[in-house]
Amino acid sequence: MCIQVRLDSTSIPNTKPSCNTGQMNSDFGVKWNNRTAQQLVSYESLFRLIDEIHPLEDILEIAQRVARQWKYFANVAAWRLVIQNDDVYTVIDGVHGKAVIENVEMPSSWDAHFMRSRRPALFSVSDIPDSPSVPEHLVSKKISQIGVIPFVKIESCYALITVAALHEPFTDIDKKFIRLFSSHLTSLIHAILIQKRTTDTLIKKATHDYLTGMLNREAIIERLDIFFRLSKRTGDPLSIVIADIDHFKRINDTYGHPAGDRVLQSVSRILTTQTRDSDHVGRYGGEEFLFVLYPCEANQALQAAERRREAVLNHPVPISENADPVRLTVSFGLSTMTHDDISPDYLIARADAALYEAKNNGRNRCVFQ
């Protein structure tokens, strides 16, 4: 059987769009174009900021730029980055276009909680837990949402970033930009911290005495040279002190060189605890220590030396587990810069002569020349 189907104009549906359908398509196109343009602008802002901060080595400058510009490509009104930095934590807070950096021994309860859990989280304002408490600058009245992103290596969380959305919750594109930029920012700052720590370690090894932790001879002489020239220029007084442990050879001969090392370490700790932040002390050689005091007049230097002499005298030093602590004494030679001192060597020579006099007159005393 053959079935014929007649197709005429009445049987064909009207496929011409109505006015309403055309308007909807037009509105959708406008919205799509606007959203695409907005995303392109956001991408441009994102990559521009990455290009700006990538060559920088100053963490505060990086943080300041991020605090000013992150809001332009993601809805980030405030943020906190915590990075484990050897035995401390570097904490960077950004809010209102400004950034603050500090090093702390322990992270906040909020940071510690998410670093332990190693899991990302997203909270609306109403869902933010009471404990652990969120950092204050991340929960202002205009904040609508908070996101947490941990960064993990070898099953250990070495960094954590918390971001806060302003007014409206984060969109999908916001979240994408936040993950992308957070990863770059964290990697950059972590690398800078590692480089700085490595450099500091090398500098310390080059400038500090391995046994006492004080400045070594070259470094303390360099400090003296700097302050000598500064004193010449400003007229502010410069004083130096050479300290020598009395009868140190007897300690080595009686108890052995390991005991002598413990004495040097103990005496150096006692001497440095009596030192101002503006003063410098180093191991001058053997059992001798050199103090550079600036600005410091003669009578102030003498008082400082007396405090150190009494501190050593009143703190017996343990030699070994089987021996009683030994009461030590230290002799001090002092000098203050005068117009006749044409180089640091003259200042050292006078202090050395004063120390020689202190040794000859019974030790355990301070002599000024």
Give the catalytic positions in this structure.
287
Instruction: Tell me the HSE value of 92 on the side-chain side, using a 13 A CA sphere.
Output: 28
Q: Which two tokens stand for residue 96?
A: 């209102």
Contacts (Cβ under 8 Å, ≥6 apart) of 16:
none
Contacts (Cβ under 8 Å, ≥6 apart) of 298:
237, 239, 334, 336, 368
Is 293:285 a contact under the CB 8 Å cutoff? no
Q: Per-residue DSSP letters for 270-331? A: HHHHT--TT-EEEEEETTEEEEEESS--HHHHHHHHHHHHHHHHTS-B---TTSPPBP--EE
- Whole-angstrom Cα distance, residue 344 to residue 228? 6
**Angle at 43 (CA atoms; ends 51, 164), nearest 5 degrees:** 90
Is 72:178 a contact under the CB 8 Å cutoff? no
